[in-house]
Amino acid sequence: MPKPLVIVTADKNAEFAIKELLRRTAALGIRPVDFDCFPHPRRDNGVFNEVHDFLRPFLQWEHALVIFDREGCGHEDKPRDVLEKAVEDRLAANGWPGRSRAVVLDPELEAWIWDGSYQVNRVLNWPGGADGLKRWIREQGFVGPTEDGPQ
């Protein structure tokens, strides 16, 4: 069944992060959103170059949101806003005029956790202050005590 929103991400990690964020509508100050979320099989480069084709089966959905990292899209030499416009223009020309947006993450989504941001922890409702999530990831052994982030 078509829904109000279809979201395309560059990988499973971003898919799970978006799903978790949109589950926390009260923390975000938004109403609940009925959506589908799918990772693109060819990651950031595939999203940038092919998302308009990937979304063809979803044209009945009301809106589309496309999220990918600048790093890895194949056009790291271009600014974020230029990449977003290129994707949005292709989406508009392929059935999504006025009802789609692209968001290019720069730095990539995974870097947000490692910056010690209080906002990331607040939105996720994660206990432990600004470094709560970062500390938990280390405690679980996902990274070593001296590593700067996931490998």
Strands (E) located in 5-146:
5-9, 35-39, 63-69, 100-105
Looking only at the bridges linking them, the beta strands covering 63-69 and 35-39 are: unpaired
CA distance 90 to 49: 9
Tell me: pLDDT of 151 over 70. Answer: no
101-130 in b/e form (b: 16+ CB < 10 A) is ebebbeebbeeebbeebeebbeebebeeeb
What pTM did the predictor assign?
A: 0.74
Name which residue leads in pLDDT, 53 or 20. 53
Write down the domain spans for the chain: 5-111, 114-151
Quickly name the fold that domain 5-111 has. Answer: Dna Topoisomerase Vi A Subunit; Chain: A, domain 2 (3.40.1360)
pLDDT tens figures, 41-90: 999 999 999 999 999 999 999 999 999 999 899 999 999 999 999 999 99
Cis peptide before 2 (omega within 30 of 0): no
> Which residue is associated with the tokens 């950031």?
44
**SS percent in the chain: helix, strand, coil, step 5:** 45, 15, 40
pLDDT tens figures, 100-133: 999 998 865 555 555 556 666 666 677 777 677 7
Name which residue leads in pLDDT, 3 or 118. 3
